[in-house]
């Protein structure tokens, strides 16, 4: 009898602890949900402005699911997350900001790619990256600048000393070829999406 009462008592204690923990986690989620969403929006806005400094506003553009799926098939590990129109002060669409996610060495790398209507890459801006410190984490200072003001085309990655055409080749980060290829393949995916779904004001 005592054993039964003891088991019931322990079960009630565990249930109470689980219930209180669940309620507390729910409260924490509710309290932090809006600040996290706000910080995510700030990061997104900063990334958009970084790749399209001339734009006054960024309008959501409908994502063409079929083209996005084709991009993922052609560029494994790459997904097109969203597309925004970059609108200038006169209300004209100057180009697009394509948000991309690509599989890196450690985790997915998320960034925006700004492409003008004329097919010029303004640049890329990394939103989220968790690669190897001192290696892949150098993508922002080594890889990102190499895409600025280049024609939207297919890029390839080359290792140290093999760069022969900076217009279509991206020099890899020393010791982080996988990260370099991941970012480059994501940009290639954004270019493919632009060519198939957005070029010419589609």
Q: Is 31's pLDDT higher than 90?
A: no
Domain definitions of the chain by residue range: 51-198
Q: How confident is the model at residue 39 (pLDDT cuts 50, 70, 90)?
A: low
Give percent of the chain with pLDDT exceeding 70. Answer: 87
Nearest-angstrom CA–CA distance, 94 and 10: 66
Kindly report, residue by residue over 172-181, the tens digit of the pLDDT: 999 999 999 9
**Pair 168, 187: CB distance under 8 Å:** no
Nearest-angstrom CA–CA distance, 115 and 98: 8
Which pLDDT belongs to residue 15? 76
Which pLDDT belongs to residue 35? 64
Residues paired with 85 in a beta bridge: 59, 96
Q: Is 23's pLDDT higher than 80?
A: no
Give the helix ranges, DSSP H, for 52-133: 65-74
Q: Which residue has the higher pLDDT, 25 or 96?
A: 96
Polymer length of the chain: 202
**Pair 127, 111: CB distance under 8 Å:** yes
CA distances (Å), origin 117, targets 7, 96, 151: 70, 7, 11
Whole-model pTM above 0.85?
no
Q: Is 22's pLDDT higher than 80?
A: no
Residue range 41-55: mean pLDDT, rounded: 83
**Pair 199, 159: CB distance under 8 Å:** no
């Amino acid at each position: 009898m005592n054993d039964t009462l003891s088991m019931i008592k322990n079960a009630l204690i565990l249930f109470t602890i689980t219930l209180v923990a669940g309620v507390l986690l729910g409260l924490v989620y509710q309290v932090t949900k809006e600040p996290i969403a706000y910080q995510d929006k700030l990061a997104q806005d900063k990334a958009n402005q970084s790749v399209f400094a001339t734009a006054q506003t960024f309008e959501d553009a409908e994502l063409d699911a079929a083209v996005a799926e084709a991009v993922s098939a052609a560029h494994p590990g790459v997904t097109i997350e969203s597309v925004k129109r970059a609108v200038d002060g006169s209300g004209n669409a100057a180009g697009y900001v394509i948000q991309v996610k690509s599989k890196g060495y450690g985790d997915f790398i998320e960034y925006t790619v700004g492409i003008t209507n004329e097919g010029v890459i303004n640049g890329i801006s990394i939103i989220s990256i968790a690669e190897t410190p001192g290696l892949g984490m150098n993508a922002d200072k080594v890889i990102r600048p190499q895409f600025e003001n280049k024609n939207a085309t297919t890029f390839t990655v080359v290792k140290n000393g093999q760069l022969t055409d900076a217009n279509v080749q991206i020099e890899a980060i020393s010791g982080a070829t996988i990260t370099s290829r991941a970012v480059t393949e994501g940009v290639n995916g954004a270019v493919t999406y632009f060519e198939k779904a957005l070029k010419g004001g589609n």
